[in-house]
Amino acid sequence: MKTHASLNRRQLLQIGGVSMLGLNSFELQQLRANSENEENRSGYQGKHHACVFIFLFGGPSHIDLWDMKPNAPTEVRGDFKPI
């Protein structure tokens, strides 16, 4: 007999994601209740059950994209000139 509530991995990730957004449990309950009411009103349940986010790390930093480096050597600064 379990006397404590156990969390599975999915619930733990959901709680962690919600806490990163700064939502507390009361706000989360309100959002869930509102979404359930909207689904019941529209009658549309939808077909999609999951979403995959793909994070592609490794691009140039914002400093390299927006800093024209006007004092850098010609081979570093490139063809573009600052306004």
Q: Provide the residue range defining the domain that includes 31.
A: 9-77
At 42 the pLDDT is: 54
Residue 34, in any domain of the structure = yes
Residue 27, in any domain of the structure = yes
Domain count, the chain: 1
At 65 the pLDDT is: 73
Residue 4, in any domain of the structure = no
Return all residues near 28 (Cβ < 8 A) that are at least 6 apart: 18
SS (H, E, C) 5-72: CCCCHHHHHHHHHHHHHCCCHHHHHHHHHHHHHHHHHHCCCCCCCCCCCCCCCCCCCHHHHHCCCCCC
Residue 53, in any domain of the structure = yes
Residue 60, in any domain of the structure = yes
Residue 83, in any domain of the structure = no
Splitting the chain (83 residues) into consecutive groups of 10 residues, what average pLDDT does each group show? 72 78 73 68 67 79 72 78 69
